[in-house]
Amino acid sequence: MISYAEALEKILSEVRNYPSELIPLSQSLGRVLSEEVSADRDYPPFHRSAMDGFAIASKDYKDGQVYPYHRELPAGMSLDLEPKEKAIRIMTGAPVPLGFDLVIKIEDAYLTETDGQKQVTFNLKDAKPWQNIAKQGEDVKKNQIVLTKGIQIGTSEFSLLASLGKETVSVIQSPKVHIISTGNEVIPIHSSPLPYQIRDSNSYTITSILSKYKIQPESVTHVPDLEKEITEQIQKGLDADILILSGGVSMGSLDLVPSILQRLGVDLIFHKTAIKPGKPIWFGKRKNTIVFGMPGNPFSVQTCSRIFLEPFLRKSYGQSQIPSYKLPYSTTKQKKGSLTEFFPVRLETTDKTYLAPLAFNGSGDVRAGLFSDGLAIIPSQLSQIQKEDILEFLPW
């Protein structure tokens, strides 16, 4: 049985390149850029006053000097200095006129008026050039690349793209995804279960994970453990870029998925990996279609989606992986066996931030992920975790 690291490596070596599409910026939140974006001009585009106050030339500055002034420059306008003009009133966001290089904030200014002539003196010990001015190009230079392919558009990217005037952006097209839940015991959520039946939550888990990447599954189907019906659905599902199955991949006599997949020409890449939960996972491909055969238990699906499906999507999108963190564990924990173990934790902050366990009855537990912030990992070779031991943490 291959290790977690080997399984992940095999999955990541099967990444696909999806084509690009051009969409309006306003619809791009959560999508992943497929173009490099460079600055259309310097940012700031001009020497911008960072304060409401007065602009002057720093070389002329003397403490206590009286500056006559008569003009005021709000943001959204510019002006050329008149001969002998030594100060102007300036507003935040306005361009500092050529010839001036210092803004003194209004709180440090003392305003007077003599015979209709406005005057100002300043209470400022140390006048440094470029004080209270955001210099042209100090944030970003014109033509500088500010965003690269593979960056997911969040608040900061969205705002920056708007600043740059990118009305449309090129993003990775969402892959076509089919989801098939299998299992005789599984019924749709609107049905009343018999005592030994359960409702299909796995397609909801997978749909939720896909929604993080703005992927809408093309179809969501359920089939009982019947050779003919599974075969039919998988056959249909193989026109997708990604086919995600849940259930039917374990050791039971009705675990028909692996044999049907192989009969339909899907090449097995691996079946089973040394992890808990999620051990029975099946992974393969047929031409351009990638097939994830996830186990049927709800927390196995959530775990496999996080540790295998998301990394696959992100690498296919050219996105970096979600970083994992290393944080101290809040208590002690035993691990039996030699599998790499994943369990739900929440972040608990006292003097510092710890990983804290939650009630967890294993992969079949319907509320296993609830109130958790992510998964902690116990490596295969460890059997005992002590309080303050540093564990790897994968945020959801």
Bridge pairing between strands 219-223 and 198-199: unpaired
Binding letters toward a second copy, positions 227-266, x by CB under 8 A:
-----------------------xxxxxx-----------
Query: Which stretch in 10-18, 43-51, 80-88, 121-129 sits in contact with a second copy by CB under 8 A?
Result: 43-51
Choosing from 323, 336, 337, 381, the residue that interacts with a second copy (CB under 8 A) is 323
**Site membership for a second copy, residue 145 (CB under 8 A):** no
- Residues 365-394, mask of contacts with a second copy (x by CB under 8 A): xxxxxxxx-----------------x----
Residue 107, phi then psi, degrees to nearest 5: -65, -25
Contact (Cβ atoms closer than 8 angstroms) between residue 233 and residue 221 = yes
- Interface residue with a second copy, options 74, 99, 265, 379 (CB under 8 A): 74
Q: Looking at residues 105 to 124 of the shown chain, list those that interact with a second copy (rule: CB under 8 A).
A: 106-107
38 binds a second copy (CB under 8 A): no
- Residue in 14, 121, 328, 389 binding a second copy, rule: CB under 8 A: 328
Q: Which is nearer to a second copy, 129 or 362 (CB)?
A: 362
Q: What is the 8-class DSSP label of residue 186?
A: E
User: Using CB under 8 A, which of 1, 5, 77, 98 touches a second copy?
Assistant: 77
Q: Which of 2, 15, 12, 6 is nearest to 279 (CA)?
A: 2
Per CB under 8 A, 273 contacts a second copy? no
Q: Virtual CA dihedral for 126, 127, 133, 139, nearest 10 degrees?
A: -60
Binding pattern for the stretch 156-185 against a second copy, x by CB under 8 A and - elsewhere: xxxxxxxxxxxx---------------xxx
Nearer to a second copy, 85 or 225 (CB): 225
Nearer of residues 14 and 108 to a second copy, judged by Cβ: 108
Q: Which of residues 6-35 bind a second copy (CB under 8 A)?
A: 25-26, 29
Distances (CA, A) of 49 to 70, 132, 133, 224, 299: 18, 6, 5, 68, 54
For residue 165, give Cα distances in angstroms to 12, 40, 242.
Answer: 35, 8, 35
* Residue partners of 357: CB distance under 8 A and separation at least 6: 330, 331, 333, 343, 344, 345, 376
Contacts to a second copy from residues 205-234, by CB under 8 A? 205, 207-209, 211, 224-225
We find the least distance from the C-beta atom of residue 216 to a second copy, in angstroms, to be 11
Q: For residue 8, what are its two tokens?
A: 């992940």
- CA dist., res. 208 & res. 201, Å (int): 11
Interface with a second copy includes 137 (CB under 8 A)?
no
Q: Which two tokens stand for residue 144?
A: 């500088």
